[in-house]
Amino acid sequence: MATKPPTADIDESKLRVKAPATEAVGVPAVMHAMGMSLEQMGVVRSARALLRVNQKDGFDCPGCAWPEEDKRHIAEFCENGAKAVAEEATLRRVRPEFFAQHSIEELLTHDDYWLGQQGRLVEPMILDEGASHYRQASWDEALDVVADELRNLDDPDEAIFYTSGRTSNEAAFLYQLLVRGVGTNNLPDCSNMCHESSGTALTATLGIGKGTVSIEDIHEASLIIVAGQNPATNHPRMLSALEKAKNKDATIVAVNPLPEAGLFRFKNPQTVRGVIGDGTPIADEFVQIRMGGDQALFQAIGRHLLEQHDARLAAGEPGILDQDFIDGHTSGFAAYAATVQSTEWAELETATGLSEARLRELGDLLIASPSTIVCWAMGLTQHKHSVATLQDVVNVLLLQGNVGRPGAGVCPVRGHSNVQGDRTMGIYEKMPEPFLAALDSEFGFTAPRAHGYDTVEAIRAMRDGKASFFMGMGGNFVSATPDTAVTEQALRNLRLTVQVSTKLNRSHLVTGSRAVILPTLGRTDRDHRGGIDQRVTVEDSMGAVHASRGRLKPPADDMLSEVAIVARIAQRLFSGPDAAPNAPQADWAGIEADYATLRTHIEHVIPGFEDYEARIAKGRTFFLPNGPRDARRFATATGLAMFTGNELEYPHIPEGHLLLQTLRSHDQYNTTIYGKDDRYRGITDGRRVVLVNKADADAAGVADGEIVDLVSVWTDGTERRAEEFRIVHYDTPERNAAAYYPETNVLVPLDSTADRSGTPTSKGVVVRLERRTP
């Protein structure tokens, strides 16, 4: 039997600190995940669920977007994948009686952990204007409320439609059609806060907003640089792929301000060596960089390559750049070379915290490598100068022709399991014209062309009274976005907020004048509709598409899938005598009864999905076309891969302040808190810690273990405060601190965003430590 949900919030006075771990996974990970699975699902359901994760006829893991290996283990085991499954497949339920017992006001006093642990949402709920409690509603009533509000908007651009990254291709495609049918491109998504900087940099330089490597490339690479990423926690299955590469003699370089456990030693529970031996050392080199110093690092490497190339040519030796590739496939080389050669080494040393000799040594690793891949995640994307940083990553790879050949390329490691697919399906506030034109002709209407709001722009619009309606297709907008106090007020300005969700979270409690909760099926649930068990499809971080079919008994009998919910809203708005004049035309009921209908529409609108149904049959996977990878084809303005000259930037931290990164603990999935421990970093039974260098704590006059407030300062003089964080001495560069998200989102100023991508700078918040007066 599953156990009951916790009755209390996290008691931070219980928090304990131990030495951080030096290895990841192994048997303790299996035990830990098993414990959580049993608590949430009981024995039988745990076995049923875990045997089906990532199997060819099973469901896609709702954890991360790392691709599946071609040969799968019987139980492809991943601790955090298992926790993601347990969290969704839990037997705990949030029933209407729960909402009758607890007022919104009371629920707001609980933390994200308590809220998320209450269980699955099962019935549509409505919060009437002025009411203190949600009340149960029928599906028809709840969907009518949503459709009526949309029908009566003064202007379609008053409506905002958010998407998180677990939504299937089918649901995402239908949802963007609904939104464009309403008449707006206001489709902010979690990607705006995540890999938007990657998309912006890669589109500008390589002509595609995605990575250019496959899982086989990872196995075959000679050198893999893993920068700004903590795979042991966030992409555990990546460690198996890195282990494979290591076994073929790859060199692995970890670039991180923190010595993250999994970067050092990995005990693969699938191998004997991982269970009873020492495991595999992963990183050959650990580069402990200053936060925000990565652009300088890649500029230094590029500069070293250029200098060595010239020196070798002058000595009559062969050069080290791929001259044929540079001449035949790229443009902008001269401007790039001039830019990187104009910076002083001293400045590169200051920005990175590494010596010139060390920087050159890292450059030598690239010179020695016939095929190099750079992998990255949030440590590189959530800074003010992230787009420039990533363009400098691309520059370095282009120098040696490391794009579009085996074992080489760019690898932005995506977060949510279908965040990449959602973009492919049109969840984007500025979808390009060819997509919109194809949508028009498939559905006999005219999609709006003016760009919509991204996430930060959406918050501004709500704050400034330019919006009246918000709908969230999954996710937890209130907790995931920056500047919590501003965002909460912004949402409270609205007339109606609607959340399509699996689990209870803060976004159900910070509402417009009225609110609707539409509970929905998740990836693991059987979706029996139209007389068949429906399948959906997802795209992984490497552009591979495959089907996913839930197998577990859903939390309630009359639950609707995301597809069914959107189809029913579309039917209300776009069919019958009251249909809007410019409504998209489709068989909405037919779509709900058979998602294959939807895949046929997708096939007509989006290139690369030809023969969709046949290519996903029998658990098969197919690859979407990828110009740079397949044929060194670059869809940029020039048709060539673009070198770019980017002026060097790095954070300037004012005297008496620290730069704070807001990151994930081992027991959380974004705003979903699975548990109270961050095992690898040695933190247990609590979350309100700030990891600081001892020298910085000493300078601020605060002791290890002391409780402080974190105060962020923004350029306009405004201050934000997060209270009661415990100081933990940690091996982080001086002036660089770390604390968990979402507790620290209150500190991130709304206007503190990355240039060009608009991503909140969650890894670069200027703060000071303030002693609490007793």
Q: By CB under 5 A, name the binding residues for Mo ion.
A: 194, 415
Minimum gap (Å) between residue 446 Cβ and ligand MGD: 29
| Closest to 679 measured CA to CA, from 36, 2, 11 | 36
Does the protein bind ligand MGD through residue 320 (CB under 6 A)? no
To ligand MGD, the closest distance from the beta carbon of 631 in angstroms equals 29
Residue number of the CB closest to Mo ion reads: 415
- To Mo ion, the closest distance from the beta carbon of 416 in angstroms equals 6
In 3D space, the residue among 460, 447, 518 whose CA is nearest the CA of residue 489 turns out to be 460
Counts of helices then strands in the chain (DSSP H, E) = 30, 33
- Are residues 178 and 586 in contact, defined by beta-carbon separation less than 8 angstroms? no
When CB distances are held under 5 to 8 angstroms depending on the partner's kind, the choice from Mo ion, ligand MGD, none that residue 669 binds is: ligand MGD
Residue whose C-alpha is closest to residue 16's, from 711, 679, 485: 679
Point out which span in 284-292, 328-336, 436-444, 621-629 binds ligand MGD (CB under 6 A): 284-292
Give the other-Cβ count within 10 Å of 341's Cβ.
12
For 313, the 3-state DSSP assignment is: helix
Question: Pick from 727, 215, 96, 159: which is nearest to 448 by CA?
Answer: 159
Place of tokens 């704590």: 697
Nearer to ligand MGD, 212 or 661 (CB): 661
The binder of ligand MGD chosen from 80, 118, 280, 295 (CB under 6 A):
80
- DSSP-based three-state secondary structure for 761: coil
β-strand 265-267 against 24-25: which pairing, if any?
Answer: parallel
Near ligand MGD by CB under 6 A, which window of 35-43, 233-241, 525-533, 624-632?
233-241
Tokens of 630: 């397949």
- Rule CB under 6 A: say whether 258 interacts with ligand MGD: yes
Q: Does 476 bind ligand MGD (CB under 6 A)?
A: yes
Print the binding letters for residues 486-505 with ligand MGD: x by CB under 6 A, - otherwise. --------------xxxx-x
Query: Quick one: tokens of 475?
Result: 């996710």
Q: Which is nearer to ligand MGD, 236 or 409 (CB)?
A: 236
Using a 10 angstrom Cβ sphere, with 0-12 exposed, 13-18 middle and 19 or more buried, the burial of residue 434 is exposed
What phi and psi, each to the nearest 5 degrees, are found at residue 761?
-85, 65
Contact flag: residue 210 with ligand MGD (CB under 6 A): no
The answer to whether 668 contacts ligand MGD (rule: CB under 6 A) is yes
Q: What is the CA radius of gyration of the chain?
A: 25
Stretch in the footprint of ligand MGD (CB under 6 A) among 33-41, 89-97, 221-229, 604-612: 221-229
Comparison of 331 and 759: residue with beta carbon closer to ligand MGD: 759
Query: Is residue 420 near ligand MGD by the rule CB under 6 A?
Result: no
| All residues at 6 or more sequence positions from 528 whose CB lies less than 8 Å from its CB, including other chains | 534
681 lies in the binding site for ligand MGD (CB under 6 A): no
Q: Decide: is 230 part of the binding site for ligand MGD (CB under 6 A).
A: yes
Q: Which is nearer to ligand MGD, 184 or 671 (CB)?
A: 671
Q: For residue 113, which amino acid is it?
A: Y
Which listed residue (378, 456, 573, 660) binds ligand MGD by CB under 6 A? 378
If the CB atoms of residues 377 and 565 are measured against Mo ion, the closer one turns out to be 377
CA dihedral for 31, 36, 38, 44, sign (positive or negative)? negative
Q: Does 763 bind ligand MGD (CB under 6 A)?
A: yes
Which of 46, 54, 212, 229 binds ligand MGD (CB under 6 A)? It is 229
Residue matched to tokens 């495991």: 279
CB under 6 A: which stretch of 205-213, 467-475, 607-615, 750-758 binds ligand MGD?
467-475
What SS3 state is found at 256? coil
The yes or no reply on residue 289 touching ligand MGD (CB under 6 A) is: yes
How far is CA 246 from each of CA 193, 220, 403, 494, 750, rounded to the nearest angstrom? 32, 9, 21, 53, 42
Q: How far is the CB of 663 from Mo ion (least distance, A)?
A: 12
Q: How far is the CB of 414 from Mo ion (least distance, A)?
A: 7
Question: E strands, 13-103, where?
Answer: 16-17, 24-25, 93-94
Q: Tell me the torsion sign for CA atoms 240, 241, 245, 248.
A: positive
How far, rounded to the nearest angstrom, does the alpha carbon of residue 234 sit from its chain's CA centroid?
10
Residue (102 or 523) nearer to ligand MGD, CB: 523
How far apart (Å, rounded) are the C-alpha atoms in residues 694 and 696?
A: 5
CB 67 within 8 A of CB 215: yes
Q: Which residue of 26, 475, 554, 733 would you call a contact of ligand MGD, by CB under 6 A?
A: 475
761 binds ligand MGD (CB under 6 A): no
Q: Fill in the per-residue mask, 132 to 171: x = in contact with ligand MGD (CB under 6 A), - = not in contact.
A: --------------------------------xxx-----
Q: Which of 216, 198, 282, 208 is nearest to 24 (CA)?
A: 282
Q: Name the token pair of 671.
A: 């705003």
Residue 177, Ramachandran bin (φ over 0: left; ψ between -120 and 50: alpha; else beta): alpha
Which residues are paired to 110 by β-bridges? none
- Which amino acid belongs to residue 51? L
Out of Mo ion, ligand MGD, none, which partner does residue 401 contact, by CB within 5 to 8 A per kind?
none
Given 160, 179, 253, 255, the residue binding ligand MGD (CB under 6 A): 255
Q: Does residue number 379 form part of the binding site for ligand MGD (CB under 6 A)? A: yes
Minimum separation from the CB atom of position 484 to Mo ion (A): 18
In this structure, what token pair is assigned to residue 390? 């990533």
Query: Other C-beta atoms within 10 Å of 348: how many?
Result: 24
Query: How many residues make contact with ligand MGD (CB under 6 A)?
Result: 60
- What DSSP designation does 8 have? S
Q: Are residues 39 and 92 in contact, defined by beta-carbon separation less than 8 angstroms?
A: no
Among 26, 181, 183, 257, binds ligand MGD (CB under 6 A): 257
- Tell me which of 183, 209, 412, 415 binds ligand MGD, using CB under 6 A: 415
Using CB under 6 A as the binding rule, whether residue 663 contacts ligand MGD is answered as yes
Give the number of other CB atoms < 10 A from CB of residue 321. 20
Given 10, 377, 456, 737, the residue binding ligand MGD (CB under 6 A): 377
Stretch of 16-24, 149-157, 211-219, 663-671 lying at the interface with ligand MGD (CB under 6 A): 663-671
Phi-psi domain of 107 (left: phi exceeds 0; alpha: psi -120 through 50; beta: other):
alpha
Nearest distance from residue 685's CB to ligand MGD, in Å?
Answer: 19
* Maximal CA-CA distance, the chain: 82
Q: To the nearest whole angstrom, how small is the minimum distance from the Cβ of residue 585 to ligand MGD?
A: 26
- Nearest approach in angstroms of CB 193 to ligand MGD is 4
Q: Does 199 bind ligand MGD (CB under 6 A)?
A: no
232 binds ligand MGD (CB under 6 A): no
Whichever of 422 and 442 has its CB closer to Mo ion, that residue is 422
Binding mask 711-750 for ligand MGD (x = CB under 6 A): ------------------------------x--xx--x--
Q: Are 544 and 217 in contact (CB under 8 A)?
A: no
Least separation in angstroms between CB 593 and ligand MGD: 20
How would you classify the pairing of strands 135-136 and 125-127? antiparallel
User: Which residues are at the interface with ligand MGD (CB under 6 A)?
Assistant: 63-64, 80, 164-166, 190, 193-194, 227-230, 233-235, 255-258, 260, 289, 291-292, 294, 377-379, 415-416, 473-477, 480, 500-503, 505, 520, 522-523, 562, 661-664, 668-672, 741, 744-745, 748, 762-763
